[in-house]
Amino acid sequence: MGKEVAGAIRTGKERHEGKILLETNELGFRGPNYRLKLTFSEMREVSAANGELRVNTKDGVLTFELGPAAEKWREKILHPKTRIQKLGVKPATPVRVLGDFEADFIKELKASNAKVGGAVRSAEPQDTFFAIDGKKSLATIAEYANKMRGAEALWLVYPKGKKEVTENDVLSAGRKSGLKDVKVVAFSATHTALKFVIPAAKR
């Protein structure tokens, strides 16, 4: 879901080589002897120059040797996409919401001027968001897949790190329903969203 670059980090007089990772709301580093996770909210100042990303925190300055990606990562940190932007929902887009979603997500959809509907199809939805909360939910995916038309997308939103429903379970259920997975988005701190569509050859 995130971006990853081989590079190095300098903190004080120390320098460590490893992998630098950019996630939805945090910057990370993984090396043989040093690891770090830094949320965007912990950053006081972010700048980029000469292939280096400098991050000022309450504990001092961290310098990430990123190369050409430094400026782009600075922009992504300072101006992160909203959840609605990451999901690709545009104004006036007809969407359908199935299952239990947090109130904030519904508010974000409405604030984006998307046309939000429920199980009854008042209009052909461009995106359907389906909350997966267990194996029973997975069993009904084929039913919704059969109702899809054209370029309509089915987003399966499932909890992270739960043995009851794993990413492999969701991928398998979607593919067995004749759909193709094309995108994954960090939906929230607790959930992941997988986007499925009808294969182009079958539309």
Domain boundary pick from 18, 46, 78? 78
Shared domain for 71 and 156, answered yes or no, is no
Domain boundary pick from 47, 78, 109? 78
- What are the φ/ψ torsions at residue 4 (nearest 5 degrees)? -140, 135
Shared domain for 26 and 96, answered yes or no, is no
Q: How many CA atoms lie within 13 A of 188 on its CB side?
A: 12
Shared domain for 26 and 108, answered yes or no, is no
Shared domain for 88 and 42, answered yes or no, is no
- CATH (domain of 154): 3.40.50.150
Shared domain for 114 and 74, answered yes or no, is no
Short-list 83, 200, 87, CA closest to 151: 200
Q: Where do the DSSP E strands lie in the chain?
A: 3-11, 14-22, 26-30, 35-39, 45-49, 52-57, 60-65, 94-98, 115-117, 127-131, 153-159, 180-186, 191-197
Domain boundary pick from 78, 104, 135? 78
- CATH (domain of 38): 2.30.29.30
Successive 10-residue mean pLDDT values, the chain, 203 residues? 88 95 91 94 95 95 96 93 91 91 93 79 79 91 90 94 91 96 91 95 88
Could you tell me how many helices (H) and strands (E) the chain has, helices first?
Answer: 6, 13
Of all helices (H) and strands (E), which one includes residue 85? helix 83-87
Residue 185: beta bridge partners? 193
Shared domain for 155 and 127, answered yes or no, is yes
Count the domains in the chain: 2
Q: What angle do CA 170, 187, 118 make, to 5 degrees?
A: 75
- What are the φ/ψ torsions at residue 143 (nearest 5 degrees)? -60, -45
pLDDT at 161: 85
Which structural domain range is residue 192 located in? Answer: 83-202
Residue 19: beta bridge partners? 6, 30
pLDDT at 121: 52
